[in-house]
Amino acid sequence: MTVSTSANRASYSGNGATVAFSFPYYFLSSSHLVVNRRVTSSGADTVLVETTDYTVSGAGASAGGTVTLNSAPTSAQSLTIYRDPPRTQLTDLVENDPLPAEEVEKAYDKLTMLVQRLSDRMDRTLRQPDGDTSAISAFPNSVTRASKYLTFDASGNPETINSVTAVSAVAANSANINTLAAISSTLVSVAAISANVVTVAGLSASIATVAGLSANLATVAAISANVNSVATISANVTSVAAISAAIASVNAISAAILAVSAGGYLQGGVTSNLTVGYTATAYNAGTISTGTYTVTPANGNLQRYVNNGAHSIAAHSAGDYTVIVQMTNSASAGAVTTSSFTKVRGDTLSTTNGDDFLLVVSKINGFTLLDKVTLQ
């Protein structure tokens, strides 16, 4: 008998009534069939046992046979029947005896079924495309990959990054991360005056006292030029002689003191609410028609450009940062590819004229992330 089809599995949905299910493919023995019942919602599988859970008819028939269950699968269950012959060869040909054609053909049939089963299992695995010029390297050993995430390096070879514990810790802190992301431009501004922030933090007690004099500070702020002049002759200002050192430090950060006066500046060591926003002018990178647009934080945390042709977008290699880029498609917009990112996720970038997108580029500790959001 011939094995005329490469199909070797059949799947059904339960309805609570049907118990007989066709397996319309040639099989040599009922023991060569595997009957798997799955709970659709959870994916939990149960391999049923012949005689205990079902019976089989039709073994050896070219048209296949029927699997009859003792109880019908419910509508919340599915059934998969597939051929899985044992990896054995039991045909024993005796030298000089007449050739038993039927037995030889059955052996060939079983060998073909085994090949089909192996092919079926290979089709259900992660595989390297035949078009790759070279084979991928071996997976990292069990010690190296334990509790890690599997990724691929620039050559497409497997590697591991980030422990599961570290990623879980970041995920547990997602609310705080989202809060910081929402004020990223403010954090950049504060980072630029970090030395002054450290100085002010060291004067937290004095700042708290000054904050209680906000009305007087408002008056002083209105004559800040004169206060600066007085600061150069502090020895003669007897009313503030006791805090002359503090006044000298405050003079260096007068703009920050003005913000404290208005109640809209975050203070080190003092609990307060941020009640004002901050604006910035986005850096205009112009029109990109080809090549690579490298998102450089030195150009600012808000950037924009026009997609006028196929090009690539890449992250700047130095420092840690977050930059938001607005991209607008022109009539000549081309496909946008990515380069050097650890992770790329989000919406598909179209080439439709007039479509707009936000590209959020983040880099921290050597890892880069590109989030793509369509604005249509």
pLDDT at residue 260 above 70?
A: no
- Determine, yes or no, domain membership for 269: no
What's the CA gap between 54 and 69, in Å, rounded? 4
Residues 210 and 113 in one domain: no
Mean pLDDT, rounded, for 153-158: 90
Taking every pair of Cα atoms in the chain, the longest distance, rounded to a whole number of angstroms, is: 126
318 and 341 inside one domain = yes
**Domain annotation covers residue 190:** yes
Residue 255 pLDDT: 67
pLDDT digits 0-9 by tens, 330-344: 999 999 999 989 999
What are the tens digits of pLDDT across the range 53-111? 999 999 999 999 999 999 999 999 999 999 999 988 888 888 888 888 888 888 888 88
* 277 located within any domain: no
For residue 168, is pLDDT > 80? Answer: no
Q: How confident is the model at residue 268 (pLDDT cuts 50, 70, 90)?
A: low
Residue 72: both structure tokens together:
């019908």
Specify whether 116 is located in the same domain as 29.
Answer: yes
Could you give the CA distance from residue 180 to residue 184 in angstroms, rounded to a whole number? 6
Angle at 281 between CA 275 and CA 287, to 5 degrees: 150
Does the predicted model carry a pTM greater than 0.85? no
Strands ordered across the beta sheet of 54-57: 20-23, 65-69, 54-57
- The mean predicted confidence, pLDDT, of the chain is 88
Residues 242-254: tens digit of each pLDDT: 876 877 777 787 7
Same domain for 291 and 245: no
Give the pLDDT mean for 104-131: 85
Task: Read off the pLDDT of residues 223-243 as tens digits, 9 standing for 90 and up.
Answer: 988 878 877 887 776 776 787
Q: Which residues contact 61 (CB under 8 A, 6 or more apart)?
A: 26
Q: What is the pLDDT of residue 366?
A: 92
pLDDT band at 167 (very low <50, low <70, confident <90, very high): confident
Residue 152 to residue 133: CA distance in whole angstroms: 16
Query: Where residue 370 falls among pLDDT bands split at 50, 70, 90?
Result: very high
Q: Is the backbone of residue 152 left (phi > 0), alpha (psi -120 to 50) or beta?
A: beta
36 shares its domain with 111: yes
305 domain-assigned: yes
CA distance 126 to 149: 16
Q: 273 lies in a domain? A: no
The count of structural domains within the chain is 4
Read off the tokens for 188: 């950049």
What pLDDT is stored for residue 29 in this prediction? 95
Task: Verify that 13 and 55 share a domain, yes or no.
Answer: yes
Residue 346: inside a domain: yes
Are both 157 and 225 inside the same structural domain?
Answer: no
177: in domain: no
In tens, the pLDDT along 189-234 reads 888 998 998 888 898 888 888 788 878 878 878 998 887 887 788 7
Q: What percent of the chain has pLDDT over 70?
A: 91
Query: Could you give phi then psi for residue 156, rounded to 5 degrees?
Result: 85, 10
- The residue written with tokens 């790759």 in the block is 132
**Contact indicator for 234, 244 with CB cutoff of 8 Å:** yes
Tell me how far apart the alpha carbons of residues 284 and 159 are, in angstroms, rounded to a whole number: 38
Same domain, 13 and 116: yes
30, 115: one domain: yes
Residue of 124 and 39 predicted with greater confidence: 39
Structure tokens at 320: 């840690």
In this structure, the answer to whether residues 14 and 118 fall within a common structural domain is yes
Q: Are 328 and 356 in contact (CB under 8 A)?
A: yes
DSSP H/E element including 152: strand 148-152
Query: Nearest Cα to 227, choosing from 253, 259, 208?
Result: 253
pLDDT reported for residue 19: 98
What is residue 272's predicted lDDT score, i.e. its pLDDT?
61
Percent of the chain with pLDDT over 90: 48
Q: 309 φ, ψ to 5°? A: 170, 165
Beta-bridge partners for 158: 152
Residues 116 and 142 in one domain: no
**Residue 179 domain-assigned (yes or no):** no
Q: Are residues 13 and 110 in the same domain?
A: yes
Range of the domain at 167: 138-172
| Domain stops at, among 209, 230, 262 | 262
Query: What's the rounded Cα separation, in Å, for the pair 157 and 136?
Result: 5
Distances (CA, A) of 104 to 29, 33, 97, 112: 16, 21, 13, 12
Side chain identity, residue 42? S
